[in-house]
Structure 1
């Protein structure tokens, strides 16, 4: 019986190319090696376009977006090329936001491939293990290393499950989406509306883009009996489109108890 490969398809691709450091992840070179030509144009109505015939394809990336968005868009289209070859795609900006549950399976697969290609776990996880506190300062440092956006990097930090974290995105109309680490029980479900005691509330409705992470009562985030017994660490940062990201770190192991007593 053959052993199960612990690496994803994108990670296997990087390893086959001998890539072992974030600065060596050259997406255009990887695309060329896979028969994909990359071009940049003033696209209207979509962020990126993939057109393929046989073993050749052209990916067009919107030229007016920032460099880190371009990288994610290209990695996302390479995900389509690897998983959905033979089809063409036009991906809008809202195809690439993190509303996970409402996305078509093809978009989720392309997103997953992009995350693995840009921030492969075999490089990313050891760096997260060296993080002293999971805050947006740490996220920003990782984003610089991998040349990725704050949002994509924070999502990756949650997904690698080194820390018990939740990442929650709000706009003034309420919660847009959230992600939790695998070790965080489902019962800790963030509220739809921001509590005025939360840092995220201050970031969304106040003037400051950022303050330092601090402890806060868990009841500010979770409308659940017993939440008032606990504190969590919250960090919050304002991002584009009038949105705020909150990174919630559960330090108290009792909150992670699988018995569901609280």
Structure 2
């Protein structure tokens, strides 16, 4: 993937032809990124790094804490994909994200990655028509995200 425009077009095309829940590992693979589980402590959620051995065709690999619940892993993968799409030039030797998705990068960079991760996992084009008559819990199950992530997406802070 050469530039931001190409990466965003790939994201939009992929998401546009899928139904929720979005297959984030499939998206990572399409972008040329391999995804691996890692035996990390609770203080680390994920990492994206340039890795010529383990990386996909892009040369990048994402690692997620293997003991996390599936919904957490999915958000972590989407978050790391967002770093690749938006901040590839900042990745360097790797970007570790702690349990609060803080990497040491500027807070606006992390906010951008979180926002794009939410757009990947819970696209408004699918979410909006489903909102009426469903609870955040129902929607979270449909999109295979945590109830907390769905509440944040919907602007509900419990």
Task: Sort the TM-score into its range (normalised by shorter chain).
Answer: 0.7 to 0.9
**Alignment partners' CA distance in 1, 2:12 and 2:78:** 16
> Residues 88-126 of structure 1, C-alpha deviation per residue, up to 9 Å, x if partnerless?
210000226xxxxxx711110110010000000111111
**Alignment partners' CA distance in 2, 1:38 and 1:20:** 20
Matches within 5 A, 1:1-262: 12-17=9-14, 18-23=16-21, 25-44=22-41, 45-52=43-50, 55-86=58-89, 87=91, 88-95=94-101, 104-128=107-131, 130-131=132-133, 138-158=135-155, 166-167=156-157, 245=158
**Alignment partners' CA distance in 2, 1:15 and 1:111:** 17
Task: Choose 1 or 2 for highest CA Rg.
Answer: 1
**TM-score, scaled relative to structure 2:** 0.79
Structure 1 unaligned blocks of 5 or more: 1-8, 97-102, 132-136, 159-165, 168-244, 246-262
**Alignment partners' CA distance in 1, 2:51 and 2:108:** 22
**Alignment partners' CA distance in 2, 1:156 and 1:78:** 18
> Residues 58-79 of structure 1, C-alpha deviation per residue, up to 9 Å, x if partnerless?
1000001111000000000001
**TM-score, scaled relative to structure 1:** 0.49
Structure 2 unaligned blocks of 5 or more: 1-6, 53-57
Shift of 1:53: 5.9
Contact 2:51–2:61 under 8 Å retained in 1: no
**Alignment partners' CA distance in 2, 1:105 and 1:43:** 26
Contact 1:36–1:56 under 8 Å retained in 2: yes
Determine which structure has the larger strand proportion and give its number: 1
**Alignment partners' CA distance in 2, 1:63 and 1:113:** 23
Aligned length: 139
The two structures, once aligned, show a CA RMSD in angstroms of 2.1
SS in 2 for 1:95: coil
Determine which structure has the larger helix proportion and give its number: 2
> Residues 194-249 of structure 1, C-alpha deviation per residue, up to 9 Å, x if partnerless?
xxxxxxxxxxxxxxxxxxxxxxxxxxxxxxxxxxxxxxxxxxxxxxxxxxx2xxxx
